[in-house]
Structure 1
């Protein structure tokens, strides 16, 4: 390779000694030396917020969002995967926490290297990270994935909540159609979607975390009470189809990345998001602890 090309390549790969910024960063993020300026459309980066959520509130919010899903989904998945399911849960939980921390660092890096007004609010931080990495096409892809995940999860929870309410009230003699309950639940929860960002409804996250913790505690107490009278459980051989389906359920129950950047934006100190995500790891261990144990259940 000619010496001139080698020097040019080194100049591109090396960071700027004055600004300590990578030239490729300017090319992909700052909009310099690129023909299409539309890549920076609607990318707003926020700063530290004096009235944002602290680390504890953020941790509770993440726990409230993720824990309930896992409590509902993991028992059946663990039953279908057997003992290896415990290792799968630990592995996916570790990967989820690690990637969540990396996602938070990406947002901090983007916020520090982006020279925009500090008064701007980031409405779509996850797509903004994707755009900074690979341009507007990645922004569209990330937006689609986030919207598709949120929509699909919402449909599942609406169906599950309506079915549980129908079965619970049916035991009391109140017969109301599942379709009617689905409409009622959707109408009650719809106004909550009109709220702004997580800092505007952190109380809901606290309520979700408390109700999930109470439910897990009740499960543990009932397990202790029923254990002496329960026969030994029998588990057949693990089927490949059931294992793969359970793997997807476990992955779904231990995720939450689509909302991590949005929660981080509303933090008083966004760089402390990693501390809050570690609370997510702790609650995963707690949820595994609520699984039936002993010869009567395993």
Structure 2
């Protein structure tokens, strides 16, 4: 059954206007949502993709573009799933719910879909927080190498301790400014790193490249999937949008910006440094003011990214524990402090961000970003709405 045959476009628009007039939807508009799309994904990908391109050869450049296109396409499926659920009464009228992606899974495949998505999201977001903590600590260590012997382990503790109080707030609409700061920081850093790479080209000629094998290729595959895998957070952002049906517009702009950030530095690094590229490209470019400023900006991005990525995990833990969904409570602060503390424990136990990044990207992010959105949309589009399934009857 065709989606547009079941729901008339005019009826959907009338319903949207009614909910808007009642103030039922969230407050995020398209530009703010676009900021979240970029802020969620751009940090670790920008730093790790140059090495992934070297691990895959020239085909890696094509894969970067294909991953971008496919990831955008599947993000629109999530948006359409969300809209169908709103229209069928499978969500509260305002769309506000603590576990939006698992709710989509439940609407499509019942409890099994809900639990499968929940486990995958928690693993993904938690692994991403760990990666961000390690990357931020490494960047700070790079900046302070000439001034202190403080280890990355200690710096990871400092990073986590400083970010914990900010994680105590509620949902994306409560801290969208952090996403804006993260996006601006990454855009500026990408320009500086690209300029630094071009400056370094005069010192590197005829560089050898890594011999591509099965291990290096699929490790790079996981990194690329990770770099475009914001889907686990997208439904949380949709739930806070003023017009959720316009998410695709923010997603389109966001993915174009991501491609502009990723491509130039990845290609230039591949041509300039070859197999000398480090897992973190900032460790490869020559020292100087541009690298220093870029490292500071990327550390800020990672700092803000931790706040955004940790939020869905925290919300689901709070839902399990029955903690009230308010802007701030003591129980919420304690819960989120515990979650961040556990992330720090994992970061100290496995201090190699590239391994965690490839593992998460090649497993749960691939599931959440490229498989689930497609099958969930097909299932919901083919299902006949039933009044017994409505939110107010559940």
Q: Same fold by TM-score, threshold 0.5 exceeded?
A: yes
C-alpha distance after superposition, 1:73-119 (max 9, x if no partner):
21110111110101111111111111001111100000111166535
| Cα offset, 1:192, TM superposition | 2.3
C-alpha distance after superposition, 1:260-295 (max 9, x if no partner):
111011111111000011023202321112224396
Among candidates 61, 65, 69, match of residue 90 of structure 1: 65
Aligned to 1:26: none
Higher-helix-fraction structure: 2
| Cα offset, 1:14, TM superposition | 11
| Residue correspondences, number | 257
Once residues 185 and 275 of structure 1 are traced to their aligned partners in structure 2, the CA distance between those partners, rounded to angstroms, is 34
Flag structure 2 segments of 5+ consecutive residues without an equivalent.
Answer: 8-18, 275-394
Flag structure 1 segments of 5+ consecutive residues without an equivalent.
Answer: 1-12, 22-46
Q: CA 1:280–1:117 in structure 2 vs 1: closer, same or farther (change >3 Å)?
A: closer
CA RMSD of aligned residues (A): 2.3
Aligned to 2:107: 132
- Native 8 Å contact 1:59 1:279 kept in 2: yes
TM-score, scaled to structure 2: 0.61
Once residues 95 and 256 of structure 2 are traced to their aligned partners in structure 1, the CA distance between those partners, rounded to angstroms, is 34
Among candidates 125, 143, 162, match of residue 118 of structure 2: 143
SS at match of 1:135: helix
**Does residue 269 of the first structure (1) align with residue 243 of the second (2)?**
yes
- Native 8 Å contact 1:264 1:273 kept in 2: yes
Once residues 2 and 242 of structure 2 are traced to their aligned partners in structure 1, the CA distance between those partners, rounded to angstroms, is 34
| Cα offset, 1:120, TM superposition | 6.4
**Does residue 214 of the first structure (1) align with residue 188 of the second (2)?**
yes
Structure 1 residues 14-163: aligned runs within 5 Å: 20=6, 48=20, 49=24, 52-114=27-89, 117-119=92-94, 121-163=96-138
Aligned to 1:27: none
Structure 1 residues 225-264: aligned runs within 5 Å: 225-264=199-238
Once residues 14 and 279 of structure 1 are traced to their aligned partners in structure 2, the CA distance between those partners, rounded to angstroms, is 27
Among candidates 129, 153, 157, match of residue 183 of structure 1: 157
Once residues 210 and 77 of structure 2 are traced to their aligned partners in structure 1, the CA distance between those partners, rounded to angstroms, is 39
Once residues 210 and 226 of structure 2 are traced to their aligned partners in structure 1, the CA distance between those partners, rounded to angstroms, is 25
C-alpha distance after superposition, 1:187-218 (max 9, x if no partner):
11112221111111010000000110011110
**4+ residue runs of structure 1 moved beyond 4 angstroms?**
47-51, 294-298
Q: CA 1:225–1:119 in structure 2 vs 1: closer, same or farther (change >3 Å)?
A: closer
